[in-house]
Structure 1
């Protein structure tokens, strides 16, 4: 059994060790409470999760690319249709003017 200053120092060291352990426990409790409150706030703000955001972003990028491709295809088809309509009009014009009209 220790006596004197060593006993006081041993008791003080034991007290500090217990206090450090208690402080770590309090730290964990505070962190848990903070995380819980932060999750409640984020959920109440209806913030989108990163995975959902990235999935929608990828879908939007794909839709834009498809939209550009379809726009180019429509423009090509309209140009082809206009050229065919122009050729049909050119062919119809000389034929119509070559026929004499009958008088009534």
Structure 2
């Protein structure tokens, strides 16, 4: 009797093991399909990749810094021109 019970338990264990393996296969397949659908959705949304965003962000920061420096240079040159104009004697008199 114990031999028959062991055989039934062995068969049951084998069936559970096979079911667990099949469940893992289904899970992997579901993850693959889900990932594929998510990528398709994100691509259709015309989103920017993080690397591209960071590159453009750095370009904007650099351009802003250059713009501030150029504005300071223009202001200094305008002041210098104004001083030169004020120092210049009027030739109309």
Q: TM-score, structure 1 length as denominator?
A: 0.84
Partner SS for 1:92:
coil
The equivalent of 2:14 in structure 1 is 14
CA distance in 1, matches of 2:58, 2:90: 51
* Structure 1: runs of 5+ lacking an equivalent: 97-104
Q: Which runs of 4+ in 1 moved over 4 A?
A: none
| Distance (Å, rounded) in 2 between the aligned partners of 1:92 and 1:70 | 31
The 5 A counterparts of 1:1-104 are 3-88=3-88, 91-92=89-90, 96=93
How many Å separate the matches in 1 of 2:83 and 2:19? 89
- Unaligned stretches of 5+ in structure 2? none
1:10-62: per-residue Cα shift (whole Å, max 9, x none)? 00000000000000000000000000000000000000000000000000000
Q: CA deviation at 1:92?
A: 1.6
TM-score by length of 2: 0.94
> How well do the aligned residues superpose, as a CA RMSD in angstroms?
1.4
Residue 3 (structure 1) shift: 3.6
